[in-house]
Amino acid sequence: MKQRWTIFILALLSSHIAYGQADPASEPAVLAVAKVLPAVVNINTERVVRRRVRDPFEDFAAQFFGNYRSEPREIRQTLQSLGSGFIVDPAGYIVTNEHVVQRAADLKIEVTMNDGKVYNARYITGDEKKDLAFIKIEAKADFPFIDLNNLSPNLLGQTVLVVGNALGYGSSISRGVLSATKRDITVEEVDYKNLLQTDAAINPGNSGGPVIDLSGRLVGVSSAKMAFTPQGVPTQGLGFAIPADTVRDSVATFREIAKNQPPPKPKSTEPEERGSKAQQLFGIQLQNLTADLTDALGYAAGKGVLISAVEPDSPADRAGIQRGLVVYRLGKYNVNSVKQVENLLARVGSGNEVDFTVGIIRNNGGGQRMETVPLTAR
């Protein structure tokens, strides 16, 4: 009888142990993710790239006037990128990849926390060779953070978790093992040195996010995924991360740079100046139709203003307006110079609608075509 009771008690204890092991809330991976997720952020950046170009009709006009040269004009193009990062200091300092927040003209960085709160961040500094960057968000309360003084031992075969903004979906997790260390690779003509290798999925948007172990300690920073070998052979399970000790040492340097930077200036409430009103409000660059140009192009003399460029994804671009067309009228007013256009647009603000009459009038009266297009100022 005593033996039967012993067997029964052992069976009962075993069932309780098995039940506890089967509880998902107690799984090490679940606990590790819950520990670090509040410190992981999604990063959206927008940067404006400027380039100067000459009038699109210059080559055509040069055939007739030899040394004719128009003034170069500036084209602005907005580039966006998506990535991840994580807070390493309660004051709001964040580590991410340099290629996610690469400094450029008019750089704007938006950081979304795991709880949905959104902050504007400023770029502090970065290291292109290590592909690491330091940015900062501001708030009155302390932020949750990942401790860089308690790093993973990074043992081959250990379980690792990739946390980040995969494909734009926040709070994404993938799991694998630490496959190798000290890897030197080239991805899209960029050389990476001394990386960790893992078979955990690293997708676009994961860049800059943390790779952690089952204790929630930092293993590294997601950096690159190799889809093909240099010989063009497709790969599987080859993701790479910057080692945690490299991150720790870089952050120490970044902190010193941050200490020596002046405090951020308060943002101006004045609207950003972006060239002429036509360009600022509607994305149109204009040029006077000189006698030489009208003769060379065959346009009617003394009428309208030439559209020399249209900014991508601007109100004019979305309405189908193209360079080479001529603006003949704004609202009920005929225009014959850039100055006239600017004067008429002087009081136009964001959200106002203006009727642009555009088209081409030939000097021989043939092929005349005009259309009135309403544009809403941005």
Q: Which residues are part of the catalytic machinery?
A: 99, 131, 207
Reduced to 3 states (helix: H, G, I; strand: E, B; else coil), residue 83 is strand
**Could you tell me the sign of the dihedral formed by the alpha carbons of 284, 285, 290, 292, in that order?**
negative
Q: Give the contacts of 34 (CB within 8 A, at least 6 positions apart).
A: none
Chain mean position to CA 290: 41
C-alpha span between 124 and 146 (Å, rounded): 19
3 state DSSP class of 288: strand
Residue 333 CA to residue 298 CA, distance in Å, equals 23
User: What contacts 145, CB < 8 A, 6 or more positions away?
Assistant: 39, 86, 87, 88, 89, 90
Q: How far apart are CA 202 and CA 225, in angstroms?
A: 6
Q: Which two tokens stand for residue 214?
A: 């089952």
Distance separating alpha carbons of residues 345 and 354, to the nearest angstrom: 9
Spatial distance between the Cα atoms of 176 and 201, rounded to a whole number of angstroms: 8
Cα–Cα distance measured from residue 87 to residue 80, given in angstroms and rounded to the nearest whole number: 22
DSSP bridge partners of 160: 176
Tokens, residue 120: 């504007």
Alpha helices in the chain (DSSP H): 2-22, 28-36, 58-65, 244-259, 277-282, 291-297, 315-318, 338-345
Q: ∠ CA 215-220-222 to the nearest 5 degrees?
A: 120
